């Protein structure tokens, strides 16, 4: 009986963290889905939506880590937590504050995205599903011989992002209404334009 009571005591001590784990996973999943989908600008609503999704994304991750540590589930600690951390690093809004770092981390994926035919539509064509988080709206377009991977698209026009222009500077290329001015060379034919050049 004592052993059974002890067993139930352990379960009882773990069970409250099961709810925290599920809540954390739910919050993280919502934030992850939003950053993967990367819908277009919601204008003034972005002032609320962007911080809220970031809070869900990071807060959910922290809650999952705390719940797993407190539950003493070693398997979850060495599998689930690292997987969530990697996914969080890969799909995140760091491009807003550190566009050079974002591009450096995702450069192989942008190289792969060059295989997508942008078509003749002004806003281009959809990237394959696994690569759609690389641009706002999940599309790539071609303007004046440069491939454009938008990171933000304004309302009703203008945009900024990364361009592949192996023939030279994309100065003057149309970015959905705004001309590219002062493009930043990222090397290997890659440039960024209309982005905050923070040095990171």
33 pLDDT more than 80: yes
Per the model's pLDDT, the better-predicted residue between 35 and 125 turns out to be 125
With cut-offs at 50, 70 and 90, classify the pLDDT of residue 190: very high
pLDDT of residue 13: 46
Q: Is the peptide bond before 156 cis (omega within 30 degrees of 0)?
A: yes
Confidence of residue 150 (pLDDT cuts 50, 70, 90): very high
pLDDT band (50, 70, 90) for residue 78: confident
State residue 15's pLDDT score.
Answer: 66
The residue that leads in pLDDT, 34 or 172, is 172
**Residues comprising the chain, all counted:** 200
Domains of the chain, residue spans: 2-92, 96-193
């Amino acid at each position: 009986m004592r052993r059974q009571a002890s067993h139930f005591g352990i379960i009882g001590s773990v069970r409250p963290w099961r709810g925290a784990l599920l809540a954390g996973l739910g919050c993280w999943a919502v934030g992850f889905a939003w950053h993967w989908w990367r819908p277009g600008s919601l204008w003034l609503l972005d002032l609320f939506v962007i911080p809220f999704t970031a809070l869900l994304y990071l807060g959910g991750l922290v809650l999952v880590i705390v719940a797993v540590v407190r539950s003493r589930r070693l398997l979850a600690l060495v599998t689930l937590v690292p997987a969530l951390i990697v996914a969080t690093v890969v799909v995140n809004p760091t491009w807003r504050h550190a566009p050079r770092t974002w591009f450096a981390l995702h450069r192989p994926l942008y190289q792969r995205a060059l295989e997508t035919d942008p078509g003749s539509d002004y806003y281009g064509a959809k990237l394959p599903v696994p690569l759609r988080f690389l641009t706002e709206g999940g599309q790539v377009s071609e303007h004046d011989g440069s491939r454009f991977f938008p990171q933000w698209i304004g309302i009703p026009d203008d945009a900024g992002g990364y361009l592949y222009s192996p023939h030279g500077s994309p100065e003057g290329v149309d970015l959905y209404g705004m001309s590219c001015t002062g493009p930043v060379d990222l090397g290997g034919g890659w440039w960024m334009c209309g982005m905050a050049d923070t040095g990171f």
